[in-house]
Amino acid sequence: PLQQNGKQGMYLRAPLLWQNRPLGMIGVIRWDAEFGPTDGPTIESIGVEVGAALENARRFAAAIEAADHDSVTQLYNHRAIHQRMDAEFSRASRQNRPLSIIMMDLNNFKLFNDTYGHPVGDDALAHVANVLRGEVGPTDILCRLGGDELAVLSPGTAVADAMALAERFLTSVRSAPLRHPDQRLRLAIRGGGG
Write out pLDDT tens, residues 133-181: 999 999 999 999 988 899 999 999 999 999 999 999 999 988 887 776 6
Arithmetic mean of pLDDT over the chain: 86
6: left (phi over 0), alpha (psi -120 to 50) or beta: left
pLDDT of residue 165: 93
Residues 175/190, Cβ–Cβ less than 8 Å: no
Return the DSSP state at 180.
P
Q: For residue 104, which phi and psi values (nearest 5 degrees)?
A: -135, 155
- Band of residue 120 on the pLDDT scale cut at 50, 70, 90: confident
Is 191's pLDDT higher than 60? no
User: Under 8 Å CB-to-CB from 18, ≥6 apart: which residues?
Assistant: 51, 52, 54, 55
Measuring CA to CA, which residue among 159, 174, 60 is closest to residue 106? 174
Per-residue b/e over 148-163, b at no fewer than 16 CB within 10 Å? Answer: bebbbbbbbbeeeebe
Q: For residue 138, which phi and psi values (nearest 5 degrees)?
A: -65, -20
Residues 134/172, Cβ–Cβ less than 8 Å: yes
Measuring CA to CA, which residue among 99, 94, 66, 93 is closest to residue 80? 66
Q: Could you give the C-alpha distances from 62 to 17, 123, 146, in angstroms and in order?
A: 19, 24, 22
Mean pLDDT of 86-114: 91
